[in-house]
Structure 1
Amino acid sequence: MSAPDPRARVVVLAGPSGAGKSRLAERLHTTHGWPIVRLDDFYRDLDDAADPPMPRHVGLGIIDWDHPDSWHASAAVAALVELVDTGSTSTPVYDISHSRAVGTTTVRARPRDLVLAEGIFAAEVVAQLREAGVLHSAWCIHHRPLVTFVRRLARDLKERRKSPMVLVRRGLALMRAEPEVIRRQEALGARSARAKDVEARLALAVGPRRD
């Protein structure tokens, strides 16, 4: 998939939580040197009182961190556009275990770089990125739901994101909802694919690395 417009450089890596988006982004970064914008860092703080209110999960009785309203979509788009246009942007650093941003970091991109925008809400901004003229391609990374459940639980327990009981209950709910998550992200403009296939397609699209 080519990008004839020099500004169309943002590769959206969406997909269910635990599907392998971050691992794919890291491999592409290592191979090509492309910058990663971690869109999950644009989560709202736990005590954010702005409208709309923080969404709550009816079944679990906790804030629904898998609902797009728990996330700053407009700020994420603005950062990606700034990165493409200027070569640099400042993004939050979010601590999931404390449910708040704890700092900022600077992301830089070279003129020929693809920009890897990965996160569970990444598909939500596909249309805005396309309208802004910076979208290269959008992908919904997925695997078998049970594989995703195991990977997600292992990651979340290792990082102590929430209590083990909350992580198990949330993980089971996400596994049941995964087919619908994939359908929604496809409807938003992300193309469903395995991580290894996306990796191969992007490598073909840009050719060998240029330093």
Structure 2
Amino acid sequence: MIQAYAQTPSVAAFEKDAAPNTYRVRRQTGEDVLYADVEQSRYWLLRRENNKPALLSGFNLNEVKGQESTLFSSTLPLAEFECAWQGEKLSVTVPVRFGQLKIWAPEAKSLQVNGKPMPFRKDGDFIVARQREGVAFVIEDSTLFLGMQNQLTVRVMNPTGSAVSGRVKISLPPDWPEHVHSQLDWWGGIVNLLAWNKGPIQRQTFPTPHRRLVGWL
């Protein structure tokens, strides 16, 4: 971690946590907890102020655990989400289809989802919000084999109570060949949709007026 400051740094410490893939940035008024599972492409960042959660962001997850047991959970893995605890209001940003959310928020009396008020129920210290319409689904598989027929598992949540049927069309992004080109070279045709052959890098530099020491960035 690199921090630019004039006189006194606001960060007191940067350390690796005992939990796997977890790091802590300790500040004067709180701390930031970072989780990065590069192999599975799963990430989250939790900001705590005065020993309480203030902001949570995550990618490719359906659960985040903190000191208060589970902070956030959803019935389906979400590509991205954000929670902001603002006193008695909980503000959440999630994909259009999310199924059901359960979030630790003992003080919250109102809930906003994607900028709009949403009804909820309290379950102890948790808020539970459930979509009443729309079908949500997620692809549970993450690996394709080039030149072969691939069978993928699609998990579907239908809260409407009415049966649904149809075909699922899976479209790869336009830059998909560029993303997997290196993996084709590495693995000879076995293509991972997740970044299996990527890893984190960490180096420590000391305060210095010379930028050449951080040129590797």
Higher strand share: 2
| Larger RCO of the pair (alpha carbons < 8 Å, separation 6+) | 1
Larger radius of gyration: 2
Structure richer in helix, relative to its length: 1
* TM-score, normalised via structure 1 length: 0.27
Instruction: Give the TM-score of the pair, scaled to structure 2.
Output: 0.27
